[in-house]
Chain A
Amino acid sequence: MKKLSLIVAGVAALAAASVAQAGTLEDVRAKGFVQCGVSQGLPGFSNPDDQGNWAGIDVDLCRAVAAAVFGDANAVKYTPLSAKQRFTALSSGEIDILSRNTTWTMTRDTQLGLNFAGVNYYDGQGMMVPTALGVNSATELDGANICTNTGTTTELNITDYFRANGMSFNLVAFEKADEVVAAYDAGRCDVYTTDRSGLAAQRTKLTNPDDHKVLPEIISKEPLGPVVRQGDDQWFNIVRWSLNAMINAEEMGITSANINKLTYNDKTPAEARFIGTEGKFGEELGLANDWAYKIISQVGNYAESYDRNVGPNTPLKLDRGVNALWSQGGILYAAPIR
């Protein structure tokens, strides 16, 4: 009897602990920084630079949240996580946001007790082949040797795709991305498949990048976005609207370079709402009213972040593609701030 009551007490304590996680914002304020889960190194998304400082568009999102909460984009600490660790780290409260090129799928959204706060990059699985192969479409790849990483969704997607098209193939899988590139470069396989952003990054490591081309087919949807714990709507809103603010700023033409002029000169009502001189949008989030101003002045808008980390002038040379604004032919569409 005594044992039983002990167990009940233990379970009750655990339940109380999971209820107590509601106040992520208060916890973060008390700590003085946002704990952000990132990858162990993915070019353009989250990778340490020469000094060991983190950079990338996933990292910029964490910086934006820190700017919104503290008015200081540098109030972030990073936890590099492996793919297997990432969700546990979030559910156990070790990190406050998971911003680690994580694909938004139904299973992850509904079964893990987590919520995806938005999409900061629309990726999709693509294929790269040597130009010498003379192939123009993935449908001509019957019987091909395909190089890819083990244990990822890319392996499953390529299997699905070849089965659906009634083609045979031979999978050559490796553990690490650089092994895959080396094998592909050495001619051990005809096709290299991974997310298109990954293809762009790995292409620069080929001995002769111009001899290879990316096929037009995109065989999967990979919406990548930040993840938070389920059951804390306030924190969820802060992350979602930090991302929305960056996208809206691009749409409104507000950049880190011109936002300071806005504060003095005439501005439209939408701009006034954005920088917080009108309305109480920040307070509704539990933040200061100039939260969006802090994000844009310190991190920049979505286009700035994109161009700085993965855009045409970076080594990755990724065009905006579907990640352009809805008004420019893409699918990036953020709810308005009003």
Chain B
Amino acid sequence: MANARDKNYEFVRREDAPILPPPATEAGITGWLWQNIFVSMADYTSIGAGIRSLLMAILSALILYFGGTQIYALIDFTIFSAVFSDPEGIKREACWTVDQGGVLPSGWHGACWPFVVAKQKFLLYGAYPAEDLWRVNLTGLVGLVGMVWVMIEQLPYRREVGAAMLSLYPLMAFILLTGGNSDAEFSNIGIWLVIGLAIISAGRLGKRGFLGPTFAEFATLIGFTGWVFLIFNAVRGVAAVDFGLEPIDTRDWGGLLITLVVAITGIVASLPLGIILALGRRSEMPVARLLSTIFIEFWRGIPLITVLFMASVMLPLFMPEGVNFDNLLRALIGVMLFSAAYMAEVIRGGLQAIDKGQYEGAQAMGLSYWQTMRLVILPQALTHVIPGIVNTFIGLFKDTTLVSIVGIFDLLGAAQSTIADPSWSSHVQALSVYVYVALLFFVFCFGMSRYSIYMENKLSKSRSH
């Protein structure tokens, strides 16, 4: 033993072992590729595993090939082969091959961007007068700022901005876009305002029991009706003020403007309407339940295209000569009611997912029906169905293209009518503008989808506390 100590053997390591790089299969690009792709094709230890790996390899190669060629074709069409400018102003000849009398090589196939650029104004605003485009831009800008403001949590006054976006902004947008100055008479509006006030005060009095017990039962409803009267006529009054803006008929609206107006109106209106309908359908009052059920099943039972056709083709026939609802307004109301029915069912799903104990707990606390709904049930129910709600929104956004069949130039309709311009006709005319429209739609729908994921994550965090 002593010998061993004398010879001064060293069994203890004095410095760290050298740090080796991780194996190629574990880190870096190769590691990622290995773990996510190749590991599934590398197992040949048994016959079964070998066949599996081989199949995996073949399928991967096929998908890579077809996906790759498709994606490359799209990139090639939109970027590499595309014509980007038309400096000589020769319009369609800028996108012609030698076979057609142009300069591009025979068999050329690429996007004709100068065409899309030339049609830009039409695709975004339709026939809206060029000197008044600032009105559309201002409306869009205010809308965008307001929306972003409400979405960013660090900013102050979010609640106030949100309330203004839902009350003042639609009025402002209406006046800016149409020009306001409607031909309603102020004396007429004044009379209705007074009637509204009278109804409200009657409701107040009734509530205190001055007008008898039967009246008192309906006092809340009467007061509510009075407020609807008052607000509706106040809006009419503001819309009738002459702000010195040129009135612009909705027939001149078009393109992205129409798509956004229809989609946003539908989205904003369908949520509250849908909540009311869903509550109505789950209500214990038979009349409310029956009416809500009939409404929902009726609108879900007919296709949107039928609604639009009825609104734009049948409705005018029932009206006396000269009484014309605005074509866009007809479509808007149709889209609104239609999407409200779908929204109601999505929200009903959320309501049914709430445990009965929540209702009973709220009742035990002495909360009224509306307090129960507002404070306990709806916040939970709506959080549950965010994916369904956003799904309906995205569906609605894309469904707006159907308005083009009733002669309203939404984004897709405008794109299709630009294809009819013979001064740009070429074999890539239709494809170029369709690619552009698809891109615009994707940006909006993908944006909505991402925001919904963000909302879900945020709300689920608050739930897990």
Contacts and interface: CB of A to CB of B under 8 A. Distances in A.
Contacts of B418: 41, 48
A51 B423 CA distance: 13
B317 A205 contact: no
Given A88-B316, A315-B423, A52 B127 contact: yes
B316 A80 contact: no
| Chain A interface size, under 10 / 10 to 19 / 20 to 34 / 35 or more | 35 or more
A82 B426 CA distance: 24
Contacts of B423: 49, 315
B407 interface: yes
Given A93-B321, A207-B97, A50 B122 contact: yes
Interface stretch (A12-20, A102-110, A145-153, A298-306): A12-20
A42 interface: yes
Contacts of A278: none
Interface stretch (B72-80, B346-354, B409-417): B409-417
A78 B251 contact: yes
A315 B422 CA distance: 6
B459 interface: no
Interface string B418-439: 1111110111011000000000
Given A78-B251, A82-B405, A88-B316, A40 B416 contact: yes
A48 B319 CA distance: 30
A89 B322 contact: no
Nearest to B426: A205
A315 B100 CA distance: 12
Contact of B127 (A39, A53, A209): A53
B426 A204 contact: yes
A316 B420 CA distance: 11
B406 interface: yes
A39 to B, nearest CB: 8
Interface string A82-103: 1011001101111000000000
Nearest to A201: B422
A8 interface: no
A281 B188 CA distance: 45
Contacts of A42: 420
B99 A210 contact: yes
B422 A47 contact: yes
Given A51-B122, A79-B251, A315 B427 contact: no
B426 A50 contact: no
Q: Which of B405, B419, B425 has the most CB of A within 10 A?
A: B425
Dominant SS among interface residues on chain B: helix
B251 A41 contact: no
B53 to A, nearest CB: 40
A320 interface: no
A78 B126 CA distance: 12
Interface residues of B, number: 49
Contacts of A213: none
A316 B324 CA distance: 37
Contact of A92 (B106, B119, B316, B422): B316
A43 B413 contact: no
Contacts of B128: 52
Contacts of B130: 51
A293 to B, nearest CB: 29
A185 interface: yes
Contacts of B309: 84
B422 A43 contact: yes
B312 A85 contact: yes
A178 B419 contact: yes
B395 to A, nearest CB: 22
Given A48-B122, A182-B430, A207-B427, A41 B419 contact: yes
B422 A82 contact: no
Contacts of B254: 52
A211 B128 CA distance: 41
Contacts of A178: 419, 430
Contacts of B99: 207-211
Nearest to A50: B118
B430 A13 contact: no
Interface in B310-328: 312-313, 316-317, 319-322, 324, 327
B27 to A, nearest CB: 49
Contacts of B92: 204, 315
A88 B324 contact: no
Nearest to A78: B251
Contact of B322 (A44, A51, A93, A316): A93
A40 B316 contact: no
Nearest to B421: A47
Nearest to B106: A208
B249 interface: yes
B121 interface: yes
B177 to A, nearest CB: 16
Contacts of A41: 416-421
Contact of A315 (B320, B322, B425): B425
Contact of A81 (B121, B319, B407): B407
A315 B416 CA distance: 18
B93 to A, nearest CB: 10
Contacts of A52: 121-122, 125-128, 252, 254
15 contacts: A40-B413, A40-B417, A41-B420, A42-B420, A43-B422, A44-B422, A49-B421, A52-B254, A77-B252, A82-B406, A85-B312, A92-B324, A94-B327, A208-B97, A315-B425
Given A52-B252, A78-B251, A201-B422, 11 more contacts: A21-B321, A40-B417, A47-B421, A48-B417, A48-B418, A50-B118, A52-B122, A52-B128, A84-B313, A88-B313, A92-B317
Interface of A: 13-14, 17-18, 20-21, 27, 39-44, 47-53, 77-82, 84-85, 88-89, 91-94, 176, 178, 182, 185, 201, 204-211, 314-316
